[in-house]
Amino acid sequence: MNDSSQSRDSLVPSTILITGATGFVGSGILRAIGRMGDGSSGPFADTRVQSLQRKPGRAIGRVETVAGDVTDASSLSGKLEGVDTVIHLVGIIEESGDATFDKVIRQGTENMVQEASRAGVKHFILMSALGAHDNPKFPYHQAKHRAEEAVKSSGLRYTIFRPSVIFGEGDGFITVLAGLVRSFPIIPVAGSGQSRFQPVQLDDVGASFAFAAAHPDEAGGETYELGGGKSYSYEEMLDVIARELGKRKPKFHVPVPLITVIVKLSGPLPKALQPPVTLEQLKMLGLDNSTEDSATPRLIGHAPVALEDGISYIKGR
């Protein structure tokens, strides 16, 4: 082993703590860390992995659970002692009660950053979103932007990921669109359907996070945009999904203002009777969500999976 290899190995974290490990993205990261920990020679072979949970008890394989709520700073006290790397994933796509974008995403990140700084965490990895920007018209994106700023100004070594729409079994976007294509006699298209997306597969996202955790010197101080193998318009994504399901149906463009009214009026109804889109998601459908500088292939070492090559799971829904 040469000197550079020894230096790199010494940077591999002995303990990783993940917030949101029980969620969709967390599952992909845990799989990637597990693959890189197989055997005695994997970079994470001797790494402890912890999951911060509001209500510990949900076991995730051999992952240790730690009690803590990112929105409650006092609950985090002492919970990051001995942790080398934090992977912070906690977020919401729909506000409910006092669980606002600002409280969960921005304040939750600030709370984690403060405790990480106090505990001497060596590397803070943040899950942001492609399109994060400081605009109050888009509170989700604004909260993500402010979370990024908190991490960047913390003095910690950091890595920020901005993925496009993430797809994989259990996702909350492609699976929903598949339900529309399967169930409706005419496929509804919100607005013009021309906004661009670059869906990225969950396992490719997981591998990107795992690479950053294993190579903090290389990934430190970087903000990576993650896109999949191809870019599509919203309408083209619907076409890809329809082909996978073997459905040939006409499409109908629905004006966004009309859908907005429907979503607002459906608020008091049971969840099962509400449209499969939130107001925030509806607004974001009008924004491009693709990147000309996707870091995915550089981080995972091969071309990322394109949407049409990785959605066989929707057939079972």
Tens digit of each residue's pLDDT (9 = 90 or more) over 18-50: 999 999 999 999 999 998 876 556 789 889 999
Span 96-116, mean pLDDT?
A: 96
| 95 C-beta neighbours (distance < 10 Å), count | 17
Q: pLDDT category, 1, cuts 50, 70, 90?
A: very low
The candidate with the shortest Cα–Cα distance to 230, out of 201, 206, 259, is: 201
Q: pLDDT category, 4, cuts 50, 70, 90?
A: very low
Looking at the predicted structure, is the pLDDT value of residue 272 above 80? no
User: Which of 107-111, 184-188, 259-263: highest mean pLDDT?
Assistant: 107-111
Each as own residue / partner, the long-range contacts of residues 6-11 (CB below 8 Å, 24 or more positions apart, any chain) are 7/217, 8/215, 8/217, 9/43, 11/215, 11/216, 11/217
Looking at the predicted structure, is the pLDDT value of residue 8 above 60? no
Span 206-227, mean pLDDT?
A: 97
Span 82-104, mean pLDDT?
A: 95
Q: End-to-end distance of the chain based on CA atoms, in angstroms?
A: 49
Looking at the predicted structure, is the pLDDT value of residue 5 above 50? no
Looking at the predicted structure, is the pLDDT value of residue 17 above 90? yes
Q: Which CATH class is domain 3-166+201-228+290-299?
A: alpha beta
The candidate with the shortest Cα–Cα distance to 224, out of 279, 298, 173, is: 298
The candidate with the shortest Cα–Cα distance to 111, out of 156, 69, 73, 160, is: 73
Span 122-129, mean pLDDT?
A: 98
pLDDT in tens, 60-74: 778 999 999 999 999
User: Beta strands 166-167 and 187-190: pairing type?
Assistant: unpaired
CA atoms within 13 A on the CB side of 102: 7
pLDDT value at position 16? 97
Residue in this structure with the two tokens 């629905």, named with its chain if needed: 254
Residue 12: C-alpha distances to residues 15, 59, 151, 242, 262 (Å): 9, 25, 21, 43, 50
pLDDT value at position 10? 55
Domain chopping of the chain, boundaries: 3-166+201-228+290-299
Q: pLDDT category, 83, cuts 50, 70, 90?
A: very high
